[in-house]
Structure 1
Amino acid sequence: MCCLFLSMVLIGPRFAFLLVWVFGDRVELIWDSWIWPLLLLLLLPWTGLAYVLMWSAAGGVSGWEWIVVALGVVADVASYSARAARREYGSRYA
């Protein structure tokens, strides 16, 4: 059960971002090239997904919507730091 949860946390936002990119038009409206979405997909998937979902054609991301994007940043940092902590403490106490 833990492995299923971990794989959904790591692969889930990438899969959702990829679905939004392929089947939607928001990513093309936000960025002119494919480089930024690809970098977000690989490195910061929660942040990219939050930014794409909060973006509006009228004004981009504004106001309280930035809090959702900041939560995406926190989720990305937490996922990377959890892997590093597990690697550090797992090897020390195994």
Structure 2
Amino acid sequence: MGCGCVLALLAGASPRLALGLVWLLTNLVHRAFHGIVLPLLGLVFVPFGTLMYVLTYRPGHGVPGWGWALVVLGFALDLGNYGAGARARERSR
């Protein structure tokens, strides 16, 4: 992907939009998943983790060792976003 820095900035601001663009403009999502259900669930519930999985997946090899560290980091970012949203709702009450 030629615009890696732009994708990284976009992913930080809106991981769902970044994953949607990767899905529409490349074949990376189709390589990583065999179907539409899992990527759609990932888009809705864990967009950072799904994006990291899609970007680190290698056909025939799966996700390499350090790739799993990035997937776990993405999942941790998703959990952090959910926690920050819950904290903001508590403060607004």
TM-score, structure 2 length as denominator?
A: 0.81
User: Partners in 1 of 2:16 and 2:36 — Cα distance?
Assistant: 15
- CA positional deviation for 1:85: 0.8
1:62 aligns with 2:64: yes
Contact (CA 8 Å) 1:10, 1:79: kept in 2 or not?
no
Task: Flag structure 1 segments of 5+ consecutive residues without an equivalent.
Answer: 1-7
User: Partners in 2 of 1:12 and 1:73 — Cα distance?
Assistant: 15
Contact (CA 8 Å) 1:13, 1:49: kept in 2 or not?
yes
Structure 1 residue ranges (4+ consecutive) displaced by more than 6 angstroms after TM superposition: 8-11
- Partner SS state of residue 64, structure 1: helix
Indicate the residue corresponding to 2:30 in structure 1.
28
Indicate the residue corresponding to 1:5 in structure 2.
none
User: Partners in 1 of 2:20 and 2:83 — Cα distance?
Assistant: 23
1:51 to 34, 48, 53: 53
- Partner SS state of residue 65, structure 2: coil
User: CA 1:16/1:53 → structure 2, altered by over 3 Å: closer, same or farther?
Assistant: same
Task: Flag structure 2 segments of 5+ consecutive residues without an equivalent.
Answer: 1-9
Q: CA RMSD in A?
A: 1.8
The residue type paired with residue 21 of structure 1 is: W
TM-score, structure 1 length as denominator?
A: 0.81
2:42 to 40, 47, 66: 40
User: Partners in 1 of 2:13 and 2:47 — Cα distance?
Assistant: 9
